[in-house]
Amino acid sequence: MIRKIALEARLKSCKNVMTLGVRPNFSDYLPEEAELIRNAEKIYYPTSFYAELFDAAGKKTFPSYHTYKCVQDKIRQTALFYLLNIPHPKTRVFYGNRQKKSITDRFDFPFIAKIPRGSAMGRGVYLIRNAEELAAYCSLTHIAYIQEYLPIDRDIRVVVVGNRVVHAYWRIAKPGEFRSNVAVGGSVSLSPVPQEAIALALYTAQQCKWDDVGIDICRHESKFYVLEGNMKYGKEGFRQAGIDYLQLMENLIESGEI
């Protein structure tokens, strides 16, 4: 078996992957490790930093360079959704105090406010119901990311790896909570997911050139919307469905799908 090369530890337990670790300086790799990287047809989980370098050098990575460009960046994702005409809740970004003053000219209470970069697992997401809550949120971030509030109690997580959907499930918010993330108390439901949502997730991933992503989708008034893409998705939905995530990845690597 010819083992594939990875940098991040995500596939460390996969039998067909050799994980070298992430070095802050490329010169920190041993000469033989550096040669393995140079000669590898593809590098798995290279980190955002090395993905950009490998792309410049013409080397393939998994996830793709395009996937890494949008990791935990809601501003970039929203712009991409609008560009590609992907259904997305009404969202606008306000830069600095001057622009923030016009938030309530464009959005009625209540609405959603998010920390636009670096936040995940439902953290940094706020339901803004009045001017006081808006002021408190604006004090946290120079850039205000504001999105219309859709009154839902669940959403759908569709995980796309390579060019296919490998899992899809519902995430249900706990009573009194507007977020459905498992990390903040949401629960996983394995009830059938509408095919329209699965198709939308796959279309979104393919159009955005994301090949390892959890697409979050909600249904409001019979229409499906893409909320965001999560490149660092959790595995609880896989565990509850009895899916061995590492075995799945081993198989996808072995078959050449990723």
What is the model's pLDDT at position 130?
98
Tokens 């949120």 label which residue?
137
Q: Determine the CATH number of domain 154-255.
A: 3.30.470.20
Q: Are 55 and 198 in contact (CB under 8 A)?
A: no
Q: Are 18 and 254 in contact (CB under 8 A)?
A: no
Whether residue 175 has a cis bond before it, omega within 30° of 0? no
- The full set of domain ranges for the chain reads 4-62, 90-148, 154-255
Per-residue pLDDT of 41-86, as tens digits, reads 999 999 999 999 999 999 999 999 999 999 999 999 999 999 999 9
Lowest-confidence region among 61-65, 175-179, 199-203: 175-179
Q: How far is CA 127 from the centre of its chain?
A: 21
Nearest Cα to Cα of residue 156 among 178, 125, 174, 180: 180
Per-residue pLDDT of 82-131, as tens digits, reads 999 999 999 999 999 999 999 999 999 999 999 998 776 667 999 999 99
pLDDT at 8 over 80: yes
What is the model's pLDDT at position 184?
85
Nearest Cα to Cα of residue 188 among 167, 211, 204: 167
Lowest-confidence region among 18-22, 59-63, 70-74, 173-177: 173-177
Whole-number Å distance between alpha carbons of 177 and 185:
9
The conformation of residue 173, written as its DSSP 8-state character, comes to P
Reported as type and span, the H/E element at residue 99 is: helix 96-100
Distances (CA, A) of 129 to 104, 134, 152, 154, 200: 11, 8, 16, 20, 31
Q: Are 258 and 60 in contact (CB under 8 A)?
A: no
Rg (CA), the chain: 20
Whole-number Å distance between alpha carbons of 67 and 205:
9
- As a residue count, the chain comes to 258
Per-residue pLDDT of 140-172, as tens digits, reads 999 999 999 999 999 999 999 999 999 999 999
What is the model's pLDDT at position 121?
63
Reported as type and span, the H/E element at residue 42 is: strand 42-44
Nearest Cα to Cα of residue 173 among 161, 184, 159: 184
The pairing of strands 42-44 and 4-6 is parallel
Q: Determine the CATH number of domain 90-148.
A: 3.30.1490.20
